Amino acid sequence: MSDYKPIEQMICAAARLLEDGAVVVVGTGAPCAAAMLAQKTTAPNLTLMFEAGGIGPQLPRMPISVGDSRTFYRGLMATSMNDVMETCQRGLADYTFLGGAQIDAYGNLNSTMIGDDYEHPRVRLPGSGGANDLASFCWRVLVITPHDRRRFVEKVDFVTTPGFLSGPAAREEAGLPPGGGPYKVITDLGVLGFAEETCRMQVESLHDGVSWEQVRAATGFELSHTDPLPTTEPPTEDQLRILRDEVDPHGYIIGRG
């Protein structure tokens, strides 16, 4: 088995979740790398959408922003943020990748502020961008994030991006389309999903060499797991070759971890 970095395991695990023919809204960084890898391996008909207006590109190299000209390369459309968001509102986007400084047991994300006083936070964060809209209207939300207690908290300091809010039926009660919400959280320790009955996060697989105790210690809320609890499928030789040589040859993403 080849040696690989935690970030490479995360990207490869995320890429496997994107089936051929799906539509996914991506930003830059690891989510874009996962979508590119999926497009070059198991999902050649995956349609990528970028918030700035690129729809259906065949990315030659890793873009540095959602407005990079590469996000339009051989694309189906070069349009606008309005059209991309409308497409999501019409229910045509299967997945979106999102992130934040905090995530709680119900998959709510915070990218607004840290602290208990909105006017005087301990840390002011960038805010929603389009994250709230995407989480509200794309059917499945994917998150790629490091796993530690500062991020995985009992309750986010601010709900920038809705997950399952306070639990079952809460999204629908808030007026969001039924059937959507958080889907998977891919970390450097494992892959997590959400229990159907409670809408709470649960561990679905552990990466090779990671223990259940490690995950519990790195999580700031009570966590369950599926039974049995498998080991995450490791990256294949082909995935690693394509990721390193074609997706991110300059190491913009995989060179960090």
Whether 155 and 44 share a structural domain: no
Whether 88 and 114 share a structural domain: no
Q: What pLDDT score was predicted for residue 60?
A: 85
Whether 17 and 78 share a structural domain: yes
pLDDT digits (tens, 9 = 90+) for 177-229: 999 999 999 999 999 999 999 999 999 999 999 999 999 999 999 999 999 99
Instruction: Tell me how many domains the chain contains.
Output: 2
Whether 71 and 83 share a structural domain: yes
Whether 202 and 252 share a structural domain: no
Task: State mean pLDDT over 42-56.
Answer: 96
Taking the CA atoms of residue 192, residue 14, residue 7 and residue 191 in that order, the dihedral angle to the nearest 10 degrees is 10
Q: Detail the DSSP E strand segments found in the chain.
A: 23-26, 47-50, 54-55, 77-78, 95-98, 102-103, 109-110, 113-114, 123-124, 140-144, 182-186, 190-194, 201-206, 224-225
Q: What pLDDT score was predicted for residue 89?
A: 95
Compute CA 47 distance to the chain's CA centroid, rounded to the nearest angstrom: 16
pLDDT digits (tens, 9 = 90+) for 139-190: 999 999 999 999 999 999 999 999 999 999 999 999 999 999 999 999 999 9
- When the pLDDT of each residue in the chain is averaged and rounded to a whole number, the result is 95
Q: What is the CATH number of the domain that holds 253?
A: 3.40.1080.10
Whether 152 and 85 share a structural domain: no
Q: 144, 145, 175: which is closest to 162 by C-alpha?
A: 175
Question: Which residues are tagged catalytic?
Answer: 51
Q: How many CB atoms lie within 10 A of CB 200?
A: 18
Q: How far apart are CA 59 and CA 36, in angstroms?
A: 7
Whether 36 and 133 share a structural domain: no
Task: State mean pLDDT over 58-66.
Answer: 89
| Domain coverage including residue 53 | 1-93+235-257
pLDDT class of 1 with cuts at 50, 70, 90: very low
* Cα–Cα–Cα angle for 169, 171, 173, rounded to 5 degrees: 70
Q: How far apart are CA 228 and CA 101, in angstroms?
A: 30
Q: What pLDDT score was predicted for residue 2?
A: 64
Q: How far apart are CA 26 and CA 32, in angstroms?
A: 6
Whether 56 and 132 share a structural domain: no
Whether 30 and 87 share a structural domain: yes
Whether 170 and 208 share a structural domain: yes
Whether 112 and 206 share a structural domain: yes
Q: What pLDDT score was predicted for residue 257?
A: 62
Whether 159 and 242 share a structural domain: no
